[in-house]
Amino acid sequence: MNRNVVAGNWKSNTGFNEAKSLTRAIAEATGDTESQVIIAPPAPYLAALKELCGAALALAAQNCSAYDMGAYTGEHTAQMLADVGVSHVIVGHSERRQLYGETDEVVAAKVHQVSAAGLHPIICVGESLEERESGEHMNVVKRQLQKGFFDVLDAAKAADVIIAYEPVWAIGTGRTASATQAQEMHLFIRQWVHEAYGQMADRMPILYGGSVKPENAEELFSQPDVDGGLIGGASLNAADFISIIKANDKWITAN
């Protein structure tokens, strides 16, 4: 797996036509990128957008069921996503934890489902403002990693994981973690992965998310343990998203 990744989380945005043109524009730009590029559009569009992605652009879902197929109205399983060509699933996003009451246990069940379907989980971790201000941020992230990752996946499955560090206070607020804050947490996460799973920590993509824009992407991505980004708002604009991908590519080429 390429350690350098730029992923766009479209959240509950875009109409179908807009989603198609955005996908086409991004697919066109990803043929020669150094970074693995992933888009996570709304679920109803996934199957249709798969046709537009081409070989280089990977498709992610933003969520999946914590259960297998069955009587779970409104849910889509990880296997259903795999069947329509999805390769990655975002799990444990703070909006799902906060707005839909997803606990560490629910996140763990979803990570298990994603992995069992042969897909890559993009596991989101991150602290609230209150937790950072009380100095609890490392402990919070450690707990989320322990319960949603280590307790669920053995070493063979863990190699498929992408981690996204998204401080809740930086999501959609325009307030970004400083490059130093991001690097400090990313290094902490990589060391945790190293302790848990050994050498694979050096190959695991650890992405930063939270108000990444073309203007701040280069500085964030230049940190040694920031391998790319999980981009919300700025991924809805093809030019901005492509410029963020280029910022990551520039860093890779220079090193």
166 in catalytic set: yes
In DSSP terms, which residues pair with 253 in a beta bridge? none
245 binds ligand 13P (CB under 6 A): no
How many CB atoms within 10 Å of residue 98?
12
Question: Which of 76, 88, 93, 120 is the catalytic position?
Answer: 93
What's the one-letter identity of residue 33?
A: T
- Measured CA angle at 28 (ends 222, 230), to 5 deg: 35
List the one residue from 5, 37, 61, 171 that touches ligand 13P (CB under 6 A): 171
List the one residue from 172, 178, 198, 203 that touches ligand 13P (CB under 6 A): 172
CA distance 202 to 227: 11
121 binds ligand 13P (CB under 6 A): no
List the one residue from 22, 49, 57, 230 that touches ligand 13P (CB under 6 A): 230
Distances (CA, A) of 122 to 155, 204, 205: 16, 11, 9
Which ranges of the chain does DSSP label H, i.e. alpha helix? Answer: 16-30, 46-53, 78-83, 94-99, 104-116, 129-133, 137-145, 155-158, 179-197, 214-221, 238-254
Q: How far is the CB of 254 from ligand 13P (least distance, A)?
A: 24
List the one residue from 5, 125, 207, 231 that touches ligand 13P (CB under 6 A): 231
Residue 6: in which H helix or E strand, if any?
strand 5-9
Binding mask 122-161 for ligand 13P (x = CB under 6 A): ----------------------------------------
Question: φ and ψ at 102, to 5 degrees?
Answer: -75, 120
63 binds ligand 13P (CB under 6 A): no
Give me the residue whose beta carbon is nearest to ligand 13P. Answer: 232
Q: How far is the CB of 185 from ligand 13P (least distance, A)?
A: 15
233 binds ligand 13P (CB under 6 A): yes
Q: Catalytic residue positions?
A: 93, 166
Q: Which residues contribute to the site for ligand 13P (CB under 6 A)?
A: 9, 93, 166, 171-172, 209-212, 230-234
